[in-house]
Amino acid sequence: MAHKKAGGSTTNGRDSISKRRGVKRYAGEKVNAGEILIRQKGFCFRPGPNTYSAKDWTIHAAITGKVNFKKSKVGKFNGRRELTTFVTVMPA
């Protein structure tokens, strides 16, 4: 008879790498054109003037300037208006 237990597979070792999402530049900070302002999944923040959104919802600065956040109500498809945060870049 064997005196060693079978190895089998481990239950650990399947942790995914973190995505490093979140706000990268805060209000009042100076940014250059093309810099990443926010990494996100979905539209938690919306791109405003002088910003653009990438395929993975990342918001970039379109021009050099200062970052600004503004809350505004946006109409949804169900007829309700919801408070949403827009990210803008003001020219420096």
Q: Where are the domains of the chain?
A: 22-91
Rounded Cα distance between 56 and 59, Å, is 9
Which tokens sit at 26? 């805060």
Confidence of residue 65 (pLDDT cuts 50, 70, 90): very high
- Which CATH architecture group holds 22-91? Beta Barrel (2.40)
pTM: 0.80
| Spatial contact of 74 and 85, defined as CB atoms under 8 Å apart | no
pLDDT digits (tens, 9 = 90+) for 11-21: 777 788 899 99
Residue type at 33 in one-letter notation: A
